[in-house]
């Protein structure tokens, strides 16, 4: 998985999974372009001082102007775009209003769509890789009971991945997604303190799958929504 001299955009790159992905990419020689929304988020990012990382302040990845700014900073040619950014909210349908539904769709699906569009335009002549992050509930909607808006949004990410993969195959752009179960992060441990953490996939393990799909070594896989569940 040699990423030497390759530019990779990583949205959500300052989060737990994103930090693992960026760390693995720069270890393989990539130049990572990572957006952030808040100064505190940037300051605690473990790779902020690495010469292989370019941080870009953005307001909203569901905004076309902000997405255009991000990909302009990345420049062309762009090799890969990895879309981890999103949001999560619990809530039964009966308790979820339109504003809460649209917030999940904006944070998860619209941001992914706009970044996919920008990435395809930056890669069009040279090929590349796109990796989205869906969720287990996108593959198994019954597990999304109690978090319906999130499930709907992540199901849209899965559908987008499959449709876009067909559109771009002839251009050498391979589009895939991972679908994690709950991951072993400090925030998730705090939220569910009595869970069996050993069953949860580690962020480094999920990152390894993302890197393979984004790598030049992936020559044939497209349109896949890859379960990354660990033992959970």
CB atoms within 10 A of CB 129: 27
36, 71, 150, 229: the catalytic one is 150
Per-residue pLDDT of the chain (232 residues; tens, 9 = 90+): 899 999 999 999 999 999 999 999 999 999 999 999 999 999 999 999 999 999 999 999 999 999 999 999 999 899 999 999 999 999 999 999 999 999 999 999 999 999 999 999 999 788 999 999 999 999 999 999 999 999 999 999 999 999 999 999 999 999 999 999 999 999 999 999 999 999 999 999 999 999 999 999 999 999 999 999 999 8
Domain-by-domain residue ranges, the chain? 7-228
Give the predicted TM-score (pTM) of the model. 0.96
Burial (CB count within 10 angstroms: exposed 0-12, middle 13-18, buried 19+), residue 175: buried
Where helices occur in the chain by DSSP H, the ranges are 16-27, 39-43, 64-74, 98-104, 111-123, 136-139, 148-168, 186-191, 203-214
71 in catalytic set: no
The CATH superfamily assigned to 7-228 is NAD(P)-binding Rossmann-like Domain (3.40.50.720)
């Amino acid at each position: 998985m040699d990423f030497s001299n390759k530019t990779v955009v990583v949205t959500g790159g300052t989060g737990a999974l994103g930090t693992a992905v960026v760390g693995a990419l720069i270890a393989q020689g990539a130049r990572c372009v990572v957006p952030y929304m808040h100064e505190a988020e940037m300051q605690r990012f473990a790779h902020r001082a690495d010469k292989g990382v370019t941080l870009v302040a953005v307001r909203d990845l569901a905004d076309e102007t902000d997405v255009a700014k991000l990909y302009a900073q990345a420049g062309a040619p762009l090799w890969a775009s990895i879309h981890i950014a999103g949001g999560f909210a619990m809530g039964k349908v009966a308790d979820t209003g339109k504003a809460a539904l649209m917030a999940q769709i904006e944070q998860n699906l619209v941001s992914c769509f706009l970044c996919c569009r920008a990435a395809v335009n930056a890669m069009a002549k040279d090929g590349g890789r796109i990796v989205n992050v869906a969720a287990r509930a996108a593959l198994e909607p019954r597990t999304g009971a109690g978090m319906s808006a999130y499930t709907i949004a992540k199901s849209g990410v899965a559908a987008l991945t499959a449709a876009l993969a067909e559109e771009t195959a002839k251009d050498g752009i391979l589009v895939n997604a991972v679908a994690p179960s709950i991951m072993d992060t400090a925030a998730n441990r705090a939220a569910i303190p009595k869970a069996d953490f050993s069953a949860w996939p580690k962020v480094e393990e999920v990152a390894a799958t993302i890197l393979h799909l984004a790598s030049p070594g992936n020559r044939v896989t497209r349109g896949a929504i890859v379960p990354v569940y660990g033992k959970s």
